């Protein structure tokens, strides 16, 4: 009973921190507005860990590889902690397995971030189309790089109805259900010890 409660608390807190690191990576990847208060909060939280990593890990092709390493590092440490809590201590001796599982968990979180940003953007466009709320602005900035190419091929129907979100949501479902889930099955992933993978 105590182990279950401890697992729930550890899993929730570690998942929240990993989500913050993933969001930090995505916001930098899409070049989101740095002056957005949410962006500034994410930068403040992650900078103490990213600053030393950036000294030894350079960016590659404009991608912040230090953030990618931090994502995998957080996943690995979290998986080791969760393995200790649930009694799967033998897995700690297999770091390559935990890293592979962590990669799948990180991909799941990224797919879910895009999914929920798309939902926030769709709802926001109906409820408050002219809103400048920081969360809505960031959601739009995150999804814009994947919606923009679709909008070029399929412009809004009648100049009003944008169907790119539907195509993106369908694409995300395909990626998540076929690629990520199949990869998790192939790796025999244990969702108890991997952040972000809830299946």
- Tens-place pLDDT, residues 91-111: 787 888 888 888 889 989 998
User: Is 199 within a domain?
Assistant: no
Q: How many domains does the chain have?
A: 1
Residue-wise pLDDT for 141-178, tens only, equals 898 888 888 888 877 766 667 778 888 888 888 888 87
The two tokens of residue 74 are 């957080």
The per-residue pLDDT for 192 is 84
User: Is 184 within a domain?
Assistant: yes
The per-residue pLDDT for 198 is 66
User: Could you list the residue range(s) of the whole structural domain that residue 96 is in?
Assistant: 2-193
Q: Identify whether the C-beta of residue 144 lies closer than 8 Å to the C-beta of residue 30.
A: yes
Say how far apart CA 151 and CA 39 lie, in whole Å: 26
What burial class does residue 194 get, using C-beta atoms within 10 Å of its C-beta: 0-12 exposed, 13-18 middle, 19+ buried? Answer: buried
User: Is 13 within a domain?
Assistant: yes
The per-residue pLDDT for 41 is 92
Say how far apart CA 128 and CA 110 lie, in whole Å: 26
Give the three-state DSSP class for 155.
Answer: coil
pLDDT string in tens for the chain (199-residue length) = 777 889 889 999 999 999 999 999 998 888 888 888 988 999 999 999 999 998 888 888 888 899 999 999 999 999 999 999 988 878 787 888 888 888 889 989 998 999 998 888 888 877 776 777 888 888 888 988 888 888 888 777 666 677 788 888 888 888 888 778 888 888 888 888 888 876 5
User: Is 183 within a domain?
Assistant: yes
User: Is 198 within a domain?
Assistant: no
User: Is 138 within a domain?
Assistant: yes
User: Is 75 within a domain?
Assistant: yes
The per-residue pLDDT for 67 is 92
User: Is 19 within a domain?
Assistant: yes
């Amino acid at each position: 009973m105590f182990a279950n409660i401890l697992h729930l608390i550890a899993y929730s807190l570690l998942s929240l921190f990993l989500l913050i690191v993933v969001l930090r990576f995505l916001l930098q990847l899409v070049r989101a507005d740095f002056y957005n208060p949410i962006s500034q909060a994410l930068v403040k939280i992650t900078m103490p860990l990213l600053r030393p990593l950036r000294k030894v890990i350079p960016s590659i092709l404009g991608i912040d590889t230090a953030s990618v390493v931090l994502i995998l590092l957080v996943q690995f440490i979290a998986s080791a902690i969760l393995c200790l809590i649930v009694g799967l201590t033998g897995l700690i001796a297999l770091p390559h397995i935990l890293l592979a599982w962590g990669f799948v968990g990180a991909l799941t979180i990224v797919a879910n971030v895009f999914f929920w940003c798309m939902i926030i953007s769709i709802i926001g466009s109906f409820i408050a189309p002219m809103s400048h709320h920081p969360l809505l602005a960031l959601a739009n900035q995150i999804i814009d790089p994947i919606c923009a190419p679709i909008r070029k091929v399929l412009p809004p129907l009648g100049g009003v109805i944008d169907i790119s979100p539907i195509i993106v949501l369908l694409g995300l479902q395909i990626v998540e259900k076929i690629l990520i889930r199949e990869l998790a099955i192939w790796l025999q992933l244990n969702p108890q010890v991997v952040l972000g993978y809830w299946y």
